[in-house]
Structures are given as structure tokens and as C-alpha cells.
Chains A and B, each alone.
Chain A
Amino acid sequence: DIQMTQSPSSLSASLGDRVTITCRSSQSINNYLNWYQQKPGEAPKLLIFAASSLQSGVPSRFSGSGSRLSGGRSGTDFSLIISSLRPEDFATYYCQQTYSAPHTFGQGTKLEI
């Protein structure tokens, strides 16, 4: 099974800050990496799919990126970037690989004020 490791596990930030959450896969996943936001008592919400594609309706302050190895092969390091934090962004964020089953999630990053 592919292991997904997120860092940090928690993060304190202020309104307007730019924050980066990282996710590392235990093997190459061909950029099949998704990011979700979950608020207490709610279901997760898809933000980013395929490492860098913004889901419809998601604000443009959210973006995703993946690394590339030499020769153009996709790497194993991914980032979720929030360019300027708003109050509604304080939540827990999860990465998930959908390259091969089981489609494992990272352990989550709790973003706090």
C-alpha cells in the first residue's frame, strides 16, 4: 500500500497569511493526488485534484503543486498552498492518493488561528 505523510500535523496562522501544507507519497503516484478540506461536523470537500487542478467552485486562493523528477517523471512531494488566509479556511486538510487502491489518505493537517 502507498503511504501518505502530511506535514505539519498542525499549523497556527493568521488572517492574510500564506500557508503551505505538504504531502509525501511513499512511491510515485503519477500526480494522482487530491486535497480535501474538512470542517467540524461536516463531510470533507474536494479542493484540488490531480495535484494542481482546482475543483469547480473552489476559490482561487487555493492552489496545488507537485514535484517533477529529472526526465519529467512525477515525483512524490506535493503541496497545498493557501495564498491569503480567510476566516473560513481554518479547518483540517487531507491529501489522498488515487493512483492505486487502497486510495490512502494522509493523516491530516489542522490549521488553527
Chain B
Amino acid sequence: EVQLVESGGGSAQPGGSQRLSCAASGFTFNTYTMTWVRQTPGKGLEWLSYITNTGSIIYYADSVKGRFTISRDNAKNSLFLQMNNLRVEDTAIYFCAGSLHYHYGLDVWGQGTTVTVSS
């Protein structure tokens, strides 16, 4: 079964850090471009970052550039998002998602993990 499972969510204080993980199974992880997307409560989807299958190309949305770092470990079929200098507005459900070809949509999604930033 094709599956992505996020973990690492929880509560954090403004200015704090959180590291999200995403474990992949059921597909050839090292052929997939991986993406992080978030959704604030009751709101729409926000694309955050992607990393190509080899990790050679990375992009970030302006809203997280300089604060968040995406990485992957193909040997462990895992994707990560290191979130530093968290803000209240980073409170959201964070999804990892994958695509065999990044032009052709995100065809594998995790169930999401919730991050709450408050003092």
C-alpha cells in the first residue's frame, strides 16, 4: 500500500522550533519529488517547499524561506521539515505529498500532522 505518514507535530512557542518527519512506504521513494503543504484551520492549502528526488533542487515559499528547511534521507525513505523561529501564523495542519513528476500533480499524500504555535 502506498503510504505517507507524518509525525512530529505538536505545540510550540513563538520563536521555537519543531521538526516534522514523513515516512514513505509502498512506492519507490527515491524517484519522487516531495513537497510540504500546509492548511490553516478552515482555510485553503498553502504550498511550502519541495525537494527533488536526489535532493539537488529545493524551493521554498517566501512565507517560510530562511526559517524552514526541507531535507530527505532516501536510504530511510524519509522526508523532513525543520521549522525554526516559529510564528503564531505557522499554526496549521502540515501535509507531506509526493509526485513522480512535479509538473503532474501531487498523487501521494499523508494524513497530516498538526502544529500549534502559541504562547
A residues with a Cβ closer than 8 A to B are 1, 32, 34, 36, 38, 42-46, 48-50, 53, 55, 94, 96, 98-99, 101-108
User: Across the interface, do B45 and A55 meet the contact criterion of CB distance under 8 Å?
Assistant: no
Number of A-B contacts (CB under 8 A): 70
Stretch at the interface among B9-17, B23-31, B81-89, B106-114: B106-114
Q: Which residues of chain B (24-50) have a CB below 8 Å from chain A? A: 35, 37, 44-47, 50
Q: Which of A34, A42, A108 contacts B104 (CB 8 A)?
A: A34
Complexed CA–CA distance, A112 and B99 (Å): 29
In the complex the two chains form, is A34's CB within 8 Å of B44's CB?
A: no
Most chain A CB inside 10 Å of its own CB: which residue of B37, B46, B62, B95: B37
B50 touching A44, Cβ below 8 Å: no
Q: Which residues of A contact B45 (CB under 8 A)?
A: 36, 38, 44, 94, 96, 105, 108
Beyond A34-B106, A104-B47: 6 further Cβ-contacts under 8 Å?
Answer: A36-B105, A42-B111, A50-B104, A53-B104, A101-B59, A103-B102
Contact in complex: B46, A46 (CB < 8 Å): no
| Contact of A46 with B105 in the complex, beta carbons under 8 Å | yes
Alpha-carbon distance between A107 and B45 when the two chains are bound, in angstroms: 7
Closest to A47 in B: B105
